[in-house]
Structure 1
């Protein structure tokens, strides 16, 4: 089973696809000793507005990005975007021209994932490692899992059934001591997922 390269990729086309970085953490400002302190008033005037940020899992493949994104859309629903290297100017006769340089699936239910194909000249991917469960503990050499959580055990179970097609099951989906539904699997593309139900849900 192929394993996705987990190295982060840089933007291939600056200005076309980009991310906004979060502001560095700033400790709370001490209350001014004097309400008429002009220096503190000026500091408040210069305070940057807070912004919302989002975090999205970005999967890196070796030629399987389009197939993986199509599969994830079939599981979670939503809209698929896939832009090939050739769409952005790479000569069509080059080996990477049909591979995905930018891809994502976004759904109204909150699911969002991104993926691309690492270009052919990149270093070789690390050897895959298996993830297992033993006595309630997860044993792995992987750096990350993809976690999907919902409020309904039946609805999450339906997602599990679709995602499990062609997968290696690490722990079968079902009730656990801490949640009405929990399961782990490594899908057909080598990505390991955790599906569970919010603890307050039934």
Structure 2
């Protein structure tokens, strides 16, 4: 079974710029990019500009990965949320179990559910104030 930790950076409307910067500065390879416009159930109030923001991107840098996204709606990022930790498994059940364990005495930011970019995803801040994104990556 796969279990890995990946830094996840959230920026305010500049994810595409950050991706290009990391490609140029440290030789990152872009593995995937999804915009908010590609996500189902986005609010009808999302403008074309907001729809073009990055909802989720994955870069490969050497033997490591980096995930990056724009803050939803271009909103300001709360303290402690600019860099989070993404926990990746290849099992929805394992991801859900980890999510449920981390949420004990913590706070659910995004409920665990299937997303366009993940078979099972959730965002939770644990009781120590550390934010984790639990991500399921199933290889085809």
Same-fold call, TM cutoff 0.5 = no
Specify the TM-score bucket, using the shorter chain as the normaliser. 0.3 to 0.5
Q: Which has the higher contact order (CA 8 A, sep 6+)?
A: 2
TM-score normalised by L of structure 2:
0.45
Decide which structure has greater strand share.
2
Structure having the higher Rg: 1
Decide which structure has greater helix share.
2
